[in-house]
Amino acid sequence: MHVLLVNNLYPPIMAGGAELVVQYLAEGLAARGHRATVVSTCGREMEPYPNETRNGVEIIRFFPRNLYWSFTRTGESRVRRALWHALDTWNLDAAHRFRAILQATRPDMVHTHVIDGFSASIWRRARRAGVPVVHTAHDYHLICPRAFLLSRSWRICSHPTLTCQAYRAWHLHTTQDVDLFVSPSQFLLDKHREAGLTCARTAVVRNGIPLPPPRLHAASAGTGARFLLLCRLTPEKGVHTVLEAMRHLRDCAEAKLIIAGRGPLEAEVRRAAAEDPRISFAGFVQGSAKEELLATADYLLIPSLWYENAPVAVIEAAAYGLGLIGSRIGGIPELVVEGSTGLLFEPGDARGLARIIGDLSGGRVALHRFASAAQSIAAGHSVDRMVDAYLDHYRDLQECIGRRVGAGQEDAGSLLRSSQASL
């Protein structure tokens, strides 16, 4: 089977966990003997970007014509962002170039993920070409222009503006061109259904990652505990909540915090690390550097303010046997099971988080209890399980569409024979 995967970014160009999921899926399909092609974006100045094959995956990148590349949106004015979204409502350039890719590669299945920059126009092109379309949502891009369901004051948006309502109605209308809508969490799927998702077929497929060999998590040397914050350094990730919690724990020398990531709050994180010897900043990490952090930390902090879907970092940490400390919001409680894999606190509650950090800094009993349960959760998020699930859905979809096409041809034949008999 030839699967054409679409995501706005693809490693080594990365912004979050979606890129990793697409990479693991593409390489997993290739390892099974299937043909996997990834279509992604690049900056205007990077064109023409040479096609390449890496780990058995064919990679095609181009710049969908717009005001700027979505990867470099930081610092753009509100006016330019609004215009960008207007053009991204139905990007004709992306549709034209995607049609050429479809004609050149002739895939059996199109599987889209984050389509910022491409727009929903590529779904229509695939449908017109007769190729089944699967879409996996990683955030709320289809129902919120900011993708987080947050207001500008970083609070959950429960009353969208008329502009946002129009944006939502249009994007959900376009999902009629999608044959199967997939979510990595039940929560995100439910939110899209509540908003008016028009795609009839839906499924939950858990994100998969390469899992390390099972092992008992080693305790930190000496007293105290090491807490890891591994995320984009942006307000919706709850970075301020963690920094405030550490300020509430000024007298708790046992609590050590490692922050890893990059983003607009990096300067603030660096200042906090310079002022507090308990806080260290590791910068953006990946590969072996990230593995080393996960292997030496005790707990992962997930203090998000927004409706998280299924953070890849949480699955990675669980696989390493870290206890999980997360805010009670979105899909986080599907991974952070209170008292089993970790502990939960209310979003933005810095004092509540401080109490948890203070309590856990005093001993190792809780960590060992959480570690085995977390690794059990992670076992259900392997790449093999994810690839198996998607292949099953691809085949079911092909059979369903094949029956639909066959029935249509039979109806057309019956109509023709009937008209001939009446002559």
23 located within any domain: yes
Q: Residue 386 has what pLDDT? A: 98
pLDDT of amino acid 405: 47
For residue 303, is pLDDT > 70? yes
Minimum mean pLDDT range among 106-115, 184-193, 205-214: 205-214
| Average per-residue pLDDT for the chain | 91
- 158 pLDDT band, cuts 50/70/90, is confident
Domain count, the chain: 2
pLDDT mean over 297-306: 96
* Res 409: pLDDT: 47
pLDDT at 74 over 80: no
Would 366 be classed as within a structural domain? yes
The answer on 114 and 30 residing in a single domain is: yes
Are residue 238 and residue 335 in the same domain, yes or no?
yes
Lowest mean pLDDT of 42-46, 64-68, 69-73, 102-106, name the range. Answer: 69-73
pLDDT at position 252 is 93
Both 166 and 36 in one domain: the answer is yes
Q: Are 264 and 328 within one domain?
A: yes
Task: Among 189-198, 207-216, 281-290, name the one with the lowest average pLDDT.
Answer: 207-216
Looking at the structure, do residues 19 and 46 belong to the same domain, yes or no? Answer: yes
Show contacts of 414-420: CB within 8 Å, 24+ apart.
Answer: none
Order of strands, edge to edge, in the sheet holding 109-112?
52-54, 57-62, 35-41, 2-6, 109-112, 133-136, 180-183, 202-204
Q: Are residues 361 and 242 in the same domain?
A: yes
Is 215 a member of any domain?
A: no
318: left (phi over 0), alpha (psi -120 to 50) or beta: alpha
The whole-model pTM stands at 0.87
Clarify whether residues 128 and 268 are in a common domain: no
**102 located within any domain:** yes
For residues 74 and 161, state if they share a domain. yes
Asked if the structure places residue 305 within a domain, the reply is yes
* 414 domain-assigned: no
Q: What's the gap between Cα 393 and its chain centre? A: 19
Tokens of 60: 């095609």
User: In percent, how much of the chain has pLDDT > 90?
Assistant: 80
Are 231 and 205 in the same domain?
no
Please give the backbone phi and psi of residue 138, each rounded to the nearest 5 degrees, phi first: -115, -10
3-state secondary structure 154-212: CCECCCCCHHHHHHHHHHHHHHHHCCEEEECCHHHHHHHHHHCCCCCCEEECCCCECCC
- Residue 26: per-residue pLDDT: 99
Is it the case that residue 413 has pLDDT exceeding 60? no
pLDDT of 416 reads 44
Return the half-sphere exposure (C-beta side, CA atoms, 13 A cut-off) of residue 329.
Answer: 22
Domain that holds residue 107: 2-209+394-403
Which pLDDT value is given to residue 73? Answer: 81
Examine the domain organization and report whether 205 and 268 are in the same domain.
no
In this structure, what CATH number is given to the domain that contains residue 147? 3.40.50.2000
Q: What is the pLDDT confidence band of residue 363, given thresholds at 50, 70 and 90?
A: low
Domain assignment present for 416 = no
Write down the pLDDT at residue 200: 84
Task: Give mean pLDDT, residues 171-195.
Answer: 96
* Whether 126 and 234 share a structural domain: no
Considering the domain architecture, whether residues 160 and 292 belong to the same structural domain is answered as no
Domain membership flag for residue 141: yes
